[in-house]
């Protein structure tokens, strides 16, 4: 059962640049603010040098500046701001965000957990697997009607939940990839979503101490772990799943495009397209999940690793498709724009990976934006662009 307790919003350290009237200078004296650019009088003489902390200003500085005709100065200020959770933005937004039904997501995770338990104690029945297959079809239908992949991924709150939530996420990612690659093949999308839900059922037969071992596996332990792909295929066939595409996801999600995968050590086009898609989905979610032996990796960092260090493992076309779905700044990433404003990425349309849609948090003067202000960087002047990612909140909770 998923925990319902909501996590606290995180804090983001950020440097704001703003221009303030000299009448307001005293408000910033004790906030660590300092001068962003030389303050120069009409004769070209620097009255205050760039980098000067405002706490060092003379008591009559305001009067001095006024006498020289200076009306405002540019300052920089370090500040911790509260990062708004992506989940809260979606929940409270007046915009028509489309996302996977959270009730369905919770049900799938809970049912997968129940089936794992029944497999482990030998009480699993055909109707248990049929139930998951049916929910996979419902999930696939929702995927075809949803535009923002990253809004749908559930966050693992505890290590015991990893396998169950991971199954949902692989179904979602694999389904989205299938929909992007083969938009007119509804049955293929169904098979990818169903296969994702079922793909790790064989782990129910792997000893818990191996499955959740915090350190590296021994050679023997790894050989045991590798059997889960075969166990899973045998299990679902026993309970009536015979579609070759679903079976390919289950058996082949650890095959690697460059070889050296398992269980059949295939390579390139020897690996079915279903297995190639599920391989990308499986690794991407595994990298971004919290485990007993590692902290979660940010989505953007995971994409970078898959491209730069792991690319031989994946079909390059499918990997590129994942990048177009997530964007280089996945939803949940807080970014700074070229005018100094700050906002959270809420979606990417896949046309330009560098210009997503952004929910604005702070304007160019460092003032908090009131209400809901969304900009699509594809629809504004090109002089406004992302200069850096400040922080990424990652996956939303159910």
Domain 11-82: top CATH class = alpha beta
* H helix runs in the chain, sequence order: 61-67, 86-92, 102-121, 126-144, 162-181, 186-198, 208-211, 219-226, 228-238, 244-252, 273-287, 299-308, 316-326
Residues 143-172: tens digit of each pLDDT: 888 766 654 555 544 445 677 889 999 999
Return the DSSP state at 171: H
What are 362's strand-pairing partners? 342, 368
Q: Tell me what the pLDDT averaged over the chain comes to.
A: 82
pLDDT in the model for residue 126: 96
What are 78's strand-pairing partners? 15
**For residues 231 and 115, what is the distance between their CA atoms, to the nearest angstrom?**
14
pLDDT for 398 beyond 50: no
- Kindly state the average pLDDT of the residues 73-101: 58
pLDDT in the model for residue 303: 85
How many CA atoms does the CB half-sphere of 62 hold within 13 Å?
11
Q: What percent of the chain has pLDDT over 90?
A: 39
Q: What percent of the chain has pLDDT over 70?
A: 82
**Domain definitions of the chain by residue range:** 11-82, 86-326
pLDDT for 320 beyond 90: no
pLDDT for 82 beyond 60: no
- Kindly state the average pLDDT of the residues 239-258: 97
Return the DSSP state at 4: -
pLDDT for 51 beyond 60: yes
**For residues 318 and 273, what is the distance between their CA atoms, to the nearest angstrom?**
9
133: left (phi over 0), alpha (psi -120 to 50) or beta: alpha
- The answer, yes or no, to whether the previous bond of 263 is cis (omega within 30 of 0) is yes
pLDDT for 132 beyond 70: yes
- Kindly state the average pLDDT of the residues 193-211: 94
Give one DSSP letter per residue of 23-80, joined into a string: GGGGGGTTTT-EESS-EE-TTS-EEE-TT-BGGG--TTHHHHHHHTT--EEEEEEEEE
Phi, psi dihedral angles at 133 (to 5 degrees): -60, -45
pLDDT in the model for residue 298: 76
pTM of the model: 0.70
> What angle do the packed helices 316-326 and 273-287 form, to 10 degrees?
50
**pLDDT interval class at 78 (50, 70, 90):** low
Residue written as token pair 């966050």: 155
pLDDT for 13 beyond 70: no
pLDDT in the model for residue 157: 42
**For residues 317 and 77, what is the distance between their CA atoms, to the nearest angstrom?**
44
| Burial status of residue 374 (CB atoms within 10 A of its CB: 0-12, 13-18, 19 or more) | middle
The CA-based angle 125-157-105, given to 5 degrees, is 50
**For residues 266 and 84, what is the distance between their CA atoms, to the nearest angstrom?**
45
- Kindly state the average pLDDT of the residues 375-382: 89
Q: Which CATH number fits domain 86-326: 3.40.50.12500, 1.10.760.10, 1.10.3210.10, 3.40.50.80?
A: 1.10.3210.10
pLDDT in the model for residue 163: 78
Picking from 5-19, 107-121, 220-234, 327-341, which range would have the lowest pLDDT averaged per residue?
5-19
- Kindly state the average pLDDT of the residues 127-140: 95
CA atoms 86, 162, 221, 312: torsion sign: negative
Cα separation of the two ends of the chain: 12
Higher pLDDT pick, 295 / 137:
137
Q: How far is CA 120 from CA 28, 124, 168, 235, 383, in A?
A: 62, 8, 20, 12, 58
């Amino acid at each position: 059962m998923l925990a319902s307790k909501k996590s606290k919003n995180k804090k983001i350290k950020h440097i704001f640049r703003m221009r303030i009237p000299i009448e307001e200078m005293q408000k910033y004296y004790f906030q660590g603010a300092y001068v962003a650019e030389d303050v120069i009088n009409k004769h070209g003489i620097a009255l205050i040098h760039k980098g000067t902390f405002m706490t060092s200003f003379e008591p009559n500085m305001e009067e001095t500046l006024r006498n020289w005709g200076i009306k405002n100065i540019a300052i920089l200020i370090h500040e911790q701001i509260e990062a708004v959770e992506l989940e809260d933005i979606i929940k409270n937004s007046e915009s028509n965000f489309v996302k996977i039904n959270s009730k369905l997501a919770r049900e799938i995770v809970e049912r997968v957990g129940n089936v794992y338990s029944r497999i482990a104690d030998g009480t699993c029945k055909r109707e248990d697997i049929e139930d998951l297959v049916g929910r996979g079809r419902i999930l696939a239908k929702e995927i075809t009607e949803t535009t923002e992949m990253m809004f749908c991924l559930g966050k693992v709150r505890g290590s015991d939940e990893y396998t169950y939530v991971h199954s949902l996420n692989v179904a979602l990612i694999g389904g989205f990839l299938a929909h992007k690659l083969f938009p007119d093949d509804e049955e293929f999308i169904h098979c990818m979503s169903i296969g994702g839900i079922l793909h790790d059922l064989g782990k129910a037969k792997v000893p818990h101490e191996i499955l959740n071992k915090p350190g590296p596996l021994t050679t023997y332990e790894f050989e045991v772990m590798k059997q889960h792909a075969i166990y899973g295929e045998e299990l679902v066939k026993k309970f009536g799943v015979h579609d070759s595409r679903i079976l390919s996801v289950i058996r082949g999600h650890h095959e690697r495009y460059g070889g050296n995968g398992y269980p059949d050590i295939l390579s390139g086009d020897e690996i079915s397209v279903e297995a190639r898609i599920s391989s990308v989905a499986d690794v991407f979610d595994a990298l971004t999940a919290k485990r007993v032996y590692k902290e979660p990796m940010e989505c953007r960092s995971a994409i970078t690793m898959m491209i730069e260090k792991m690319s031989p493992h994946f079909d390059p076309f499918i990997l590129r498709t994942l990048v177009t779905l997530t964007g280089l700044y996945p939803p949940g990433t807080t970014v700074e724009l070229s005018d100094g404003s700050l906002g959270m990425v809420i979606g990417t349309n896949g046309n330009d990976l560098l210009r997503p849609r952004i929910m604005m948090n702070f304007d160019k003067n460092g003032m908090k934006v009131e209400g809901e202000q969304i900009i699509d960087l594809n629809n504004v002047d090109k002089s406004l662009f992302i200069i850096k990612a400040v922080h990424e909140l990652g996956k939303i909770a159910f």
